[in-house]
Amino acid sequence: ILKNPVRVEVTPQSSTVDAIEQRLYKVDKGNKKLLLQEVLKDKSLDSVLVFTNTKHGADRVVKELGRAGIAAMAIHGNKGQTARIRALESFKSGAIRVLVATDIAARGIDVNELAAVVNYELPNVPETYVHRIGRTGRAGRGGEAIAFCDFGEKPLLRDIEKLIGKKVPLIEDHPYPMQNFEAPKRDKHGKIVNADDAEARQAARERK
C-alpha cells in the first residue's frame, strides 16, 4: 500500500541495555516466594517492579510479601482505575517498596530510577522479557534485572537467550537451588497443566 516506505527504529526489540545487570536464579516454583523475600533483603533495591504472567499470580505474590512484612501492591486488569493510580502513586512516592504487575497493566508505567525488575515468572514471548527489564536502567542509570526460572520454564529461558544473543548470568549460590527436574504435567491435548490456573478457578468459584 505504501510507496517507498522507510522504517525507523531506535533500538532493535532484541537488544538489552548494557547498564542493566542481569542475573538468573534457577529455583523450584514453590520456592519462588521465599527466594523473592531473600532477594528483597538487599536494602539497596529500594524500588522493585515484579512481573507475573497472571492477575491471580500478582495478587498472590502481594499477599505472600505482606505476610513477610514487605509492603507491596498489585496492578492488573481486574483493578479499577482508582486502585491502579493509588498503587502507582504509592510506589513512586516510596510508600511501598514493591509493585507487582502483569504485562498489560504495566504499559505506560514509567518510574524514575527504578532499582530492579524481577521476572517472577518468565514471559511466554521472549520480546516481552526485553520490554520488562527495559523499565530499569533508563537514561544511562544502572539497574538490575532478576529472573526466576523453574524447570518448566527452561524452554522459555532458551528462547529469551536466543533472542538477546547471550546467556543470562546464573547465580548458583542461593538458599533455594532447583531440586525438581521433572517435566510439567500435561493434559490429553499436550497442554501443560497449570496449578495456578486451577487455583484461580477455585478462588473465583468461592467468590461466587
Walking along the chain (208 residues) 10 residues at a time, the average pLDDT comes out as 87 70 96 97 95 95 96 93 92 94 80 90 94 82 92 95 95 95 71 62 61
Distance, in Å, from the CA atom of 82 to the CA atom of 190, rounded to the nearest integer, reads 40
Q: Is 22 helix (H, G, I), strand (E, B) or coil?
A: strand
User: Which stretch of DSSP H or E encloses residue 8?
Assistant: none
Distance, in Å, from the CA atom of 29 to the CA atom of 21, rounded to the nearest integer, reads 23
Helix ranges restricted to H, 141-191: 154-164
Helix ranges restricted to H, the chain: 32-39, 55-67, 81-93, 103-106, 126-133, 154-164, 195-207
pTM of the model: 0.83
- Quick check: 92 and 116 in contact, CB under 8 A? no
Nearest to 75 by CA among 63, 64, 86: 86
The set of residues, in sequence order, having a beta carbon less than 8 Å from that of 79 and lying 6+ positions away, is: 87, 105
**pLDDT value of residue 123:** 95
